């Protein structure tokens, strides 16, 4: 959460890195429109839990700070604006199609539009997020995000390069992000152009990628560009072919394993992560075990695990549902499998000298996005550090000469 400042609203962000990126721009837009004391709630529609957390936050804010204006936006608000407008303290619901439009923040009435514009927003910390892609053209049976973000669109390469050049004056690392980043038709060319035209940028990172969209040009860039971080996070979603088919994903288990093998062949020290859903409708114990086995076989060190959440209006919501306690139990087991791989990966870095980007409270991240504790190092520094220990969740390091 961003704390209120003298000239900026406060933002409370749920969901993806794209939402995080957009919140910083919205905070400034709201302040310029006269909402400097407002709370902006940027919602997510991926799971019912994310929506419930946002509603609880709004009710709590209205109760604790009565009279404070609350503005709501994001994918959940886009899909059901009337329901969010009825919550206490909410003075405006702004659709995804207008959240980055300055006019929307000052207009007396803001109709909801679906055409989410292309735009960027920088993070306020040591790394910045740049949205180079919006929307999604796929029809995964569990996902409602296309209804909140609209069809896929891409930022032109030249525009992205200019944006990164500006961000590099304030940040040591830029993360390229999007709803379906890998669908950007010129992703590999964009990466090359950024690293060629902005030599002063030390680190470029990618957000979650669709495994089915990674082409030969992408793999060439991944192999050749040292400033592209050795960290791939994939929207795998499951590890059993039948469930992947019912999800209407465009890859198989074998495709995933081949992809992970290729990534390690090109960059042996790569850190791999994945988005995974436990408890999808009809999932059996055997199918869940196929997913935990995938985590171990592929050595997936950084997992985002979600218990399946039925979203009204999606095909999966009409399939036979598993009990929610079972979904949560399976998600917990999947997280344990991920914890074991994370601990193994972190232990493998002990003794290595890493380039660490320092953040708040003596914590930084390596190129693999592994968290590092390094006491006394100033925020914003990019330094060399020798890894001395791991507790299974975080590394400990000392500054190297």
Q: Look at residues 21, 203, 232, 305 and name the one whose alpha carbon lies nearest to residue 13.
A: 21
Residues 6+ apart with CB under 8 A from 265: none
> Could you read off the pLDDT tens digit of each residue along the chain, which spans 401 residues?
443 334 457 888 887 777 777 777 788 787 777 777 889 899 888 888 888 899 999 999 888 888 888 889 888 888 888 888 888 888 888 887 777 777 777 755 445 444 445 545 445 568 888 989 988 999 999 998 888 778 899 999 999 999 999 999 989 999 999 989 999 999 999 999 999 999 999 999 999 999 999 999 999 999 999 999 999 999 999 999 999 999 999 999 999 999 999 999 999 999 999 999 999 999 999 999 999 999 999 999 999 999 999 988 899 999 999 999 999 999 999 999 999 999 999 999 999 999 999 987 789 999 999 999 998 877 888 999 999 999 999 999 999 97
Identify the pLDDT of residue 275.
Answer: 96
Give the number of C-alpha atoms closer than 13 A to the C-alpha of residue 299, restricted to the C-beta side: 15
Q: Return the CATH architecture of domain 127-347.
A: Alpha-Beta Horseshoe (3.80)
What distances in angstroms separate CA 290 from CA 3, 244, 259, 283, 309, one per listed residue?
Answer: 43, 12, 17, 11, 20
Domain boundaries, the chain: 10-106, 127-347, 353-399
Identify the pLDDT of residue 2.
Answer: 40
Structure tokens at 169: 């004056």
Identify the pLDDT of residue 253.
Answer: 98
Predicted TM-score (pTM) of the model is: 0.79
Q: In what order do the strands lie in the sheet with 302-307?
A: 231-237, 271-278, 302-307
Using DSSP bridges, classify how beta strands 382-390 and 395-399 pair: parallel, antiparallel or unpaired.
antiparallel
CATH T-level topology, domain 10-106: Rossmann fold (3.40.50)
DSSP classification of residue 118: P
3-state secondary structure of 145: helix
Q: Quick one: which H or E segment has residue 17?
A: helix 17-32
Structure tokens at 178: 């999007």
Residues 6+ apart with CB under 8 A from 350: 387, 388, 389, 390, 395
- Rounded Cα gap, residues 214 and 192, in angstroms: 15
Contact (Cβ atoms closer than 8 angstroms) between residue 20 and residue 95:
no
Q: Return the CATH architecture of domain 353-399.
A: Beta Barrel (2.40)
Contact (Cβ atoms closer than 8 angstroms) between residue 315 and residue 353:
no
Residues 6+ apart with CB under 8 A from 264: 270, 272
Residue 58 burial (C-beta neighbours within 10 Å; 0-12, 13-18, 19+): buried
């Amino acid at each position: 959460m961003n704390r209120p400042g003298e000239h900026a609203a406060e933002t409370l962000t749920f969901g993806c890195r794209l939402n995080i990126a957009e919140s910083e721009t919205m905070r400034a837009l709201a302040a310029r429109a006269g909402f400097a004391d407002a709370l902006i709630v940027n919602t997510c529609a991926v799971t019912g839990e994310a929506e419930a957390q946002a509603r609880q936050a709004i009710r709590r804010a209205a109760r604790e700070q009565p009279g404070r204006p609350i503005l709501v936006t994001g994918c959940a608000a886009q899909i059901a604006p009337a329901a969010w407008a009825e919550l206490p303290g909410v003075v405006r619901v702004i659709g995804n199609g207008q959240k980055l439009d300055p006019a929307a923040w000052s207009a007396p009435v803001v109709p909801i539009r679906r055409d989410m514009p292309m735009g960027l927003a920088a993070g306020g910390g040591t790394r910045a997020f740049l949205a180079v892609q919006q929307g999604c053209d796929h029809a995964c049976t569990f996902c409602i995000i296309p209804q909140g973000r609209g069809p896929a669109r891409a930022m032109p390469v030249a525009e992205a390069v200019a944006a990164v050049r500006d961000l590099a004056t304030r940040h040591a690392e830029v993360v390229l992000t999007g709803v379906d980043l890998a669908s950007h038709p010129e992703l590999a060319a964009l990466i090359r152009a950024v690293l060629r035209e902005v030599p002063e940028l030390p680190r470029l990172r990618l957000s979650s990628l669709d495994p089915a969209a990674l082409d030969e040009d992408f793999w060439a860039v991944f192999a050749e560009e040292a400033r592209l971080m050795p960290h791939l996070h994939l929207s795998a979603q499951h590890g059993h072919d039948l469930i992947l088919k019912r999800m209407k994903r465009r890859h198989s288990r074998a495709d995933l394993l081949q992809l992970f093998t290729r990534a390690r062949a090109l960059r042996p020290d790569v850190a791999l992560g994945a988005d995974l859903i436990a408890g999808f409708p009809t999932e059996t114990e055997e199918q869940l075990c196929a997913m935990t086995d995938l985590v171990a076989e592929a050595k997936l060190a950084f997992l985002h695990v979600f218990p399946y959440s039925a979203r009204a209006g999606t095909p999966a919501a009409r399939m036979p549902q598993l009990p929610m306690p079972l979904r949560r139990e399976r998600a917990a087991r999947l997280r344990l499998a991920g914890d074991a791989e994370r601990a193994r990966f972190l232990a493998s870095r002990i003794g290595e000298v890493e380039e660490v980007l320092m953040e708040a409270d003596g914590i930084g991240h390596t190129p693999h996005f592994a968290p590092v504790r390094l006491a006394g190092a100033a925020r914003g520094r990019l330094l060399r550090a020798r890894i001395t220990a791991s507790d299974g969740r975080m590394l400990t390091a000392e500054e190297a000469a």
